[in-house]
Amino acid sequence: MSKTATVFLVRHAEALSVDEDDPELSSAGEEQARRLAERFIGVDVAAILHSPRRRASSTASAIHRANSGAEIIASELLNDRTPVPSDERREGYTDLLLQWLEQVPEAERDPDGVAIEAALRDLTQIARRRGAIIAVTHNFVIGAMVQRVLQCPQPLWTRLNSDNAGVTRIDCSKQIVLRSFNGRGP
């Protein structure tokens, strides 16, 4: 029997609201992560990849405790990024949105979402080789990946909001198809 080539994109659980670069999960976030992990019990998962940020790592660890047969891997591919448009790709973005994007810290800027697009390709290939994988990442990364799967105009990602501990399911078996967005489990 062949393994299902599925990527479950998971937004990390709620982080502490303190203004710091890499916050840990809040107590509500710890509960969200625990409940999220329960939803993956019995799902045949080959690997759990996660952003190196603490909120993503803690969420992935909770999922791993409930699905210990899966390999857990910190991946720079899933780090917190914002797809900031280059001058050639600003069409469709409002002036207000462009002003907001100018404030994105340099370390989080992903010009035209090139790194996010590469991460989606890599995740797809991993799922095709290994079977279902979970990728714990951040809101803008998920939004940009969904925008690419749907082949919609660039600014769409700014209108997609993944809930904390929300699950987006992408089938990669033959074509790359969005099966669900922002659900609460597999």
Domains of the chain: 6-183 (3.40.50.1240)
Give me the pLDDT at residue 79, please. Answer: 96
- DSSP of 92-143: T--HHHHHHHHTS-GGGB-GGGHHHHHHHHHHHHHHHHH--EEEEE-HHHHH
Give me the pLDDT at residue 3, please. Answer: 74
CB 75 within 8 A of CB 49: yes
pLDDT tens-place string over residues 104-162: 999 999 999 999 999 999 999 999 999 999 999 999 999 999 999 999 988 899 999 99
pLDDT tens-place string over residues 24-53: 999 999 999 999 999 999 999 999 999 999
Q: Which residues of 119-143 are buried (b: 16+ CB within 10 A; e: fewer)?
A: bbeebbebbeeebbbbbbbbbbbbb
pLDDT tens-place string over residues 78-112: 999 999 999 999 988 999 999 999 999 999 999 99
Per-residue confidence band for 21, with pLDDT thresholds at 50, 70 and 90: confident
Question: What percent of the chain stands above pLDDT 90?
Answer: 87
pTM equals 0.94
